Amino acid sequence: AQSVTQPDIHITVSEGASLELRCNYSYGATPYLFWYVQSPGQGLQLLLKYFSGDTLVQGIKGFEAEFKRSQSSFNLRKPSVHWSDAAEYFCAVRPKAAGNKLTFGGGTRVLVKP
């Protein structure tokens, strides 16, 4: 069955430190890949996306993600975290072949220590 896994439920990071959030997917072929962020009381904001081409993609708010086909992964990174990055982060995928729906991972909640 197709699935998206975010192994880390919670991550605590100090302000200014680097952050990496893991995402693994299980699909027959490489799907379209997305990262969304949900700040407290807010909706889901698109951070970045991968469709094809360069496997390192840049997004908003200083985030980047790297697609690794061999590992079926699409990990999100930020070199230096700000207090405002405290939020929940969701990896999502959509098959290329057919269908419209996004399948989401369980999310990773990021806490930022001063």
Partner 1 sequence: EPEVTQTPSHQVTQMGQEVILRCVPISNHLYFYWYRQILGQKVEFLVSFYNNEISEKSEIFDDQFSVERPDGSNFTLKIRSTKLEDSAMYFCASRSTEGYEQYFGPGTRLTVT
Give the footprint of partner 1 on this chain (CB under 8 A): 32, 34, 36, 42-46, 49, 51, 90, 92, 94, 99-107
Q: Is the CB of 16 or the CB of 106 nearer to partner 1?
A: 106
Q: Is the CB of 81 or the CB of 89 nearer to partner 1?
A: 89
Type of residue at 60 = I
Q: How far is the CB of 87 from partner 1 (least distance, A)?
A: 14
Q: How far is the CB of 82 from partner 1 (least distance, A)?
A: 21
Q: How far is the CB of 80 from partner 1 (least distance, A)?
A: 25
32-45 residues labelled b (16+ CB within 10 A) or e (exposed): ebbbbbeeeeeeee
Type of residue at 46 = L
User: CB neighbours (10 Å) of residue 86?
Assistant: 17
What counts of helices (H) and strands (E) characterise the chain?
A: 0, 12
- Write the burial class of residue 2 (CB in 10 Å: 0-12 exposed, 13-18 middle, 19+ buried): exposed
Q: Is the CB of 33 or the CB of 112 nearer to partner 1?
A: 33
Q: Is the CB of 49 or the CB of 77 nearer to partner 1?
A: 49
